[in-house]
Amino acid sequence: MKGNITKRGKNSWRLKFDAGRDEKGERKTQFVTFRGTKREAQVELAKLIASVAEQKYVEPHKITVAEWVRGRVDHWEASGEISARTAQRYRQLVENQIAPHIGAKLLQKLRTIDIETWHTTLRTSGRVRGKGEISARTIGHAHRVLGKATRDAVKNELVLKNVVALESAPKVDDGEMEIVQDVPAFVAKVRGHRLFAMGMIGLFTGMRLGEVLALRWGRVDLDGKVIQVREALEATKAHGIRFKVPKSKAGRRDLTLPDILVDALRDFRREQLELRLKLGSGKLPDDGLLFPNIEGEPRSPSSASRAWGDATGVGYHALRHTHASQLIHADVDIVTISKRLGHASPAITLAVYAHMFKKTDAKAAAAINAAMG
């Protein structure tokens, strides 16, 4: 392959070289401006020619990190790869954690050291309003969004490698995840509250709030002690409140209920029937929601979350974490836990809850002892 150097100014050179062929089979000539000595320019030209020969050359682009990630989020939502709710959350991460700090940098100039510096900035002064640190969990979410976008950039031949994947996100501290420590005391505390049944479902099934709010009586089999999860509610600025199917096949699942939850739901159903009889509304329809708003329509997840938090002082998502914690400490296998939580794979469960698993290998030693008699 051929190439040449033309002097443009003091310590400025134009590198011209053959960049292969385009889709029509015609030769492409590439021009690159380089600043430095002539010797350095010659070395750079040699590298560029070698990269073309090895099919590792990437044409220069001026797209910034923020432009690229915003575009990818739009594409993921339009293609159905992510839900509108997830897209809304991703956009919040882009605008609050990514764009203000590394968004202006050219995508092709992004390096691993930039990711390391970005993490440090977020941990020390990354808050949107005023100074203050961002939690390791939020940094991890932003890191995954950026990593997913740069992975797409590699696939689309805009960059050679995913530099985000080369730098690990900060480790989430054990104490950062909100978990109910004394479950019996907590149950006793919230018993009798109008949201008691809603809370017990989250605590003893690990269902997401959106899944609980979309739950219909026809999907609750109290005699068989099973809840069928088939849809969820999501609320977005673009679409308002709407039902959606689970984001993965694993989200469609049947959950076996413990007796304490069956009893709570029987009491809740009886109360609902008595109320409907007083109002002259008749029996509970199979397609009726367990937890509608006062008009009988789907309830806003955000309002339900606020109401629960105000009443109990515990975030609703903490119930899901608590359920996972109970299963882990009961030595339930990771595959079963993953299926119960509706995760697409056990790897996701491990990524979220790895710190909860026992650090000792005593069980392995005990198993060997048992096998050897």
What's the pLDDT tens digit per position in 172-181?
Answer: 765 567 899 9
Q: Let me know if residue 295 belongs to a domain.
A: yes
131 within domain boundaries: yes
Q: Is residue 59 part of a domain?
A: no
Question: What pLDDT is attached to residue 59?
Answer: 60
DSSP-based three-state secondary structure for 338: helix
pLDDT for residue 19:
74
Give the count of domains, the chain: 3
233-249 confidence digits (pLDDT tens)? 988 888 889 998 886 78
pLDDT of 54 reads: 63
172 and 192 in a common domain: no
Contacts 24+ apart (CB under 8 A), 299-308: 299/213, 299/233, 300/235, 300/241, 301/209, 301/210, 301/213, 301/233, 301/234, 301/235, 301/241, 302/235, 304/195, 304/198, 304/209, 304/213, 305/209, 307/195, 308/195, 308/198, 308/199
Q: Are residues 158 and 197 in the same domain?
A: no
Q: In a 3-state reduction of DSSP, which class is residue 16?
A: strand
Task: Spell out, as residue ranges, where the chain has pLDDT lower than 70.
Answer: 1, 20-23, 54-60, 128-132, 173-176, 247, 358-364, 366-368, 373
170 and 193 both lie in a single domain: no
Q: DSSP string spanning 264-312? A: HHHHHHHHHHHHHHHHT--SPPTT-BSS--TTSSPPPHHHHHHHHHHHH
Structural tokens at position 69: 């990630």
Same domain, 268 and 344: yes
**In the numeric block, which tokens belong to residue 340?**
């119960």
What gap in Å lies between CA 275 and CA 269, rounded to an integer? 10
Which residue, of 53, 74, 93, is where some domain finishes?
A: 53
Whether residue 334 is found in the same domain as residue 195: yes
Q: Which of 120, 151, 176 is the last residue of a domain?
A: 176
Residue 232 phi, psi dihedral angles, 5° rounding? -145, 160
pLDDT computed for residue 214 by the predictor: 96
Residue 85 lies in a domain: yes
Co-location of 75 and 35 in the same domain? no
Q: Considering 145, 176, 207, which residue would you say is the last residue of a domain?
A: 176
Structural domain contains residue 246: yes
Q: Domain span at residue 16? A: 3-53
Shared domain for 151 and 208, answered yes or no, is no
Residue 215 has a pLDDT of 97
Q: Are residues 69 and 26 in the same domain?
A: no
Whether 369 maps to a domain, the answer reads: no
265 plus 237 within the same structural domain: yes
Q: How far is C-alpha 46 from the chain's CA centre? A: 43
Q: Would you list the DSSP string of 219-232? A: GEETTTTEEEE--E
Task: Clarify whether residues 188 and 172 are in a common domain.
Answer: no
Residue 213 CA to residue 170 CA, distance in Å, equals 33
